[in-house]
Amino acid sequence: MEFDYIIVGAGSAGCILADRLSESGQHSVLLLEAGGADSSFWFKVPVGFTKTYYNPEYNYMYYSEPEAQLNNRQLYCPRGKVQGGSGSINAMIYVRGQPHDYDDWARAGNTGWGYRDVLPYFKKLESHWAGNTEYHGADGKIKISSMKEGAHAITGTFLEGARQAGFPITGDINGADYEGATIYDLNARNGERSSSSFEYLHPALSRKNLRVERNVTVRRVMFEGKRAIGVLTSRNGENGETLQFVARREVILSAGSVDTPKLMQLSGLGDKALLAKHNIPVVHELPAVGKNLQDHLCVSFYYRATVKTLNDELLSLVGKAKSGLRYLLSRKGPLSMSVNQSGGFFKGDANDAEPDLQLYFNPLSYRIPKSSKAQLEPEPYSGFLLCFNPTRPTSRGSIEIASDRVEDAAKIRINALTTEKDLHDVVQGSKLIRKIMSAPALRNITAEEISPGPDVKSDEAFLEYFRENSGSIYHLCGSCAMGPDASTSVVDDRLRVHGIESLRIVDASIFPNITSGNINAPTMMVAEKGAEMILEDHKADAAQASKPATLAVAA
């Protein structure tokens, strides 16, 4: 079967691409998804991510390799295995990052990717609570709400504590004043998740020129020489039906920061030594495939409160039932929003050029379960937590295939805390939390610090607490980085794979550097911009093809 465009992966980016490339009706589009449909009730409910966090039906449930600097722990790396991808199972915090993140993309040689270049695409995807402004759009498909109205009362105490500690307060972390404490925005409205699947793909499914194939695994990209011509797939597992799909124009990989480089390597694109190790013929050597992996690592400080918190509402069966009934009747209450309700961007040192730490203040304290059979449950006391992550870690990891079989998960090496800056930022973040928690407003609602506890106060002790307790907050990116040099990057600034015709990558793997915050919004922006580029290039190619041939006339 032939299509103009084949998109691999119906995640946050792939759903947008499928809509934008098919909306004119002029192009046939095939969207391939390894998971099933996002039809469960829990994909709509904001708190539903607790039901998919350890659910293999909807989640690949990847783990990193043992991390040497984190006491050889393997970090949990959930990835969405469902229509909508990780955007169907995340906590929906809507953060663009800071302007300098994108200016750094441009400074790395990526023309058209500075902050002022990408801002129109953020505005294009938004239906924002602030309306049409210099920084926001009101006519986009992703519905953005503020949690200010429904946030728990103690989030206001956090804001006051940050102010007392000398930090600014911002009403719009995605606008002009991105530094300071804030109540976070959410890609949800009226108590329902607003994912790219729900808002872009679902309305497009009735189009005759768009076909979606679910429960289909792409085994490799097919080539004629150095041109991508389609994909080889199997349905319902390794022994299922084998299918080939041909792309007349392009194959577009949107499988995410783990599975896009994995598929590239399985298809013969990557480091020559790695491919030889697994007896994979080299189609084109691209040593940067799978390199440059980045992530945000976070650690939580736990507190027992002197006031009621969400623990008191959600710990008992009666409390859960009341919250559930309230949600069903009004789409309001704690089930209608994220538990990550406030936080913001902060400078660890007042002399820093830009905020280098992100905080999350949760009016609920809970432990991440060690077992996949356990549930996310509140701590058995009135509690809250405050956590931090450095915004721009400089450690770099990798994604590598474990074998020549697509069924085997790739090896994820985050390679955390391998630079002096990252070690410094961990200490700075720990001290920042203690500084804010010492403010009068927060002291008044705190009975005690449960962990790490008051005895942990030296730089060495802060580092050891982070080594033993930190985890990924699931912002893996950068593993097929954009850049002008094919020896250090994978795609050019139009997202075309270096040295290969008719193959692009449009997902978070193209980030040259991680953005300062949650990466779902930047990923959707990349998809909006990428779709426009693909259509522009098609138009330019068609115009060139329609020009009459000219003959040279001898003098």
SS (H, E, C) 192-236: EECCHHHHHHHHHCCCCCEEEECCEEEEEEEEECCEEEEEEEEEC
How far is Cα 251 from Cα 101, in angstroms, rounded to an integer? 28
Which tokens is 148 given?
A: 């200010």
Residues 6+ apart with CB under 8 A from 224: none
For residue 394, pLDDT over 80 is answered with: yes
Q: Are 245 and 3 in contact (CB under 8 A)?
A: yes
Most confident stretch, 97-101, 186-190, 377-381, 537-541: 97-101
Q: What average pLDDT score do residues 48-73 get?
A: 93
pLDDT in tens, 486-535: 999 999 999 999 999 999 999 999 999 999 999 999 999 999 999 999 99
How far is Cα 151 from Cα 339, in angstroms, rounded to an integer? 9
Q: What is the pTM of this model?
A: 0.95
How far is Cα 144 from Cα 183, in angstroms, rounded to an integer? 13
How far is Cα 20 from Cα 207, in angstroms, rounded to an integer? 12
Q: What is the reported pLDDT for 332?
A: 87
pLDDT in tens, 297-317: 999 999 999 999 999 988 888
Q: What is the reported pLDDT for 540?
A: 85
Q: How confident is the model at residue 325 (pLDDT cuts 50, 70, 90)?
A: confident
Among 100, 136, 475, 498, the one annotated catalytic: 475
Q: Are 270 and 287 in contact (CB under 8 A)?
A: yes
Residue 475 annotated as catalytic:
yes
For residue 237, pLDDT over 80 is answered with: no
Return the residue matching tokens 């503020």: 146
How far is Cα 247 from Cα 224, in angstroms, rounded to an integer? 12
Q: Give percent above pLDDT 90 in the chain.
A: 84
For residue 247, pLDDT over 70 is answered with: yes
Q: Are 384 and 446 in contact (CB under 8 A)?
A: no
Q: Give percent above pLDDT 70 in the chain.
A: 97
Q: What is the reported pLDDT for 51?
A: 84
Higher pLDDT, 325 or 136: 136
Q: How confident is the model at residue 371 (pLDDT cuts 50, 70, 90)?
A: low
Position 328: which residue type?
Answer: L
Q: What is the mean pLDDT of the chain?
A: 94
Q: What is the reported pLDDT for 321?
A: 85
For residue 373, pLDDT over 90 is answered with: no
Higher pLDDT, 323 or 269: 269
Q: How confident is the model at residue 555 (pLDDT cuts 50, 70, 90)?
A: very low
Which tokens is 225 given?
A: 């020489």
How far is Cα 138 from Cα 74, in angstroms, rounded to an integer? 42
For residue 367, pLDDT over 90 is answered with: no
